[in-house]
């Protein structure tokens, strides 16, 4: 299934709302980041690995190797990297929020209810 922005957000909505109740990370911030970073749920990583945010590494021992662009000295290089592979979107979203709640640099996002402030903070805090 190829998602449109509308169908992706409709499918994502219950997951980000549930996650916000647990994590305190604004659902609209999570949804908008997922929309952009996963190409509306249509990227290879989102389809093959249920990874909506491009988080590298492994999740419960599961990963997927994908080509990505890294920048060294301002120059782009294509490399193969391991990305976390999730059983579902719910775990991808939960892991993304856990990152914000684990790292001190994102403490200003915790419990923020204003999407404009949350968007500004996530950029200022250095999210890639």
Active-site option among 19, 91, 94, 95: 95
Joined together, the tokens standing for residue 7 give 């169908």
Active-site option among 70, 82, 114, 124: 70
Residues 16, 24: Cα–Cα separation, whole Å: 11
CB 47 within 8 A of CB 10: no
Start-to-end C-alpha separation, the chain: 28
Q: Which residue has the tokens 């190829």?
A: 2
Apex 86 CA angle, 125 and 55, nearest 5? 25
* Catalytic status, residue 70: yes
Phi, psi dihedrals of residue 82, rounded to the nearest 5°: -90, 130
* Catalytic status, residue 95: yes
* Catalytic (active-site) positions: 70, 95
């Amino acid at each position: 299934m190829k998602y449109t922005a509308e169908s992706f957000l409709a499918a994502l909505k219950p997951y980000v709302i549930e996650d916000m109740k647990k994590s305190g990370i604004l659902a609209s911030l999570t949804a908008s980041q997922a929309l952009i970073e996963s190409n509306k749920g249509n990227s290879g990583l989102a389809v093959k690995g249920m990874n909506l945010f491009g988080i590298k590494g492994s999740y419960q021992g599961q990963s997927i190797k994908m080509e990505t662009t890294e920048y060294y000295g301002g120059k782009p290089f294509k490399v193969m990297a391991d990305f976390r592979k999730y059983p579902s979107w719910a775990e991808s979203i939960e892991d993304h929020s856990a990152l914000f709640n684990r790292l001190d640099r994102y403490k200003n996002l915790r419990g923020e209810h204003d999407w404009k402030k949350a968007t500004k903070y996530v950029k200022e805090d250095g999210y890639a």
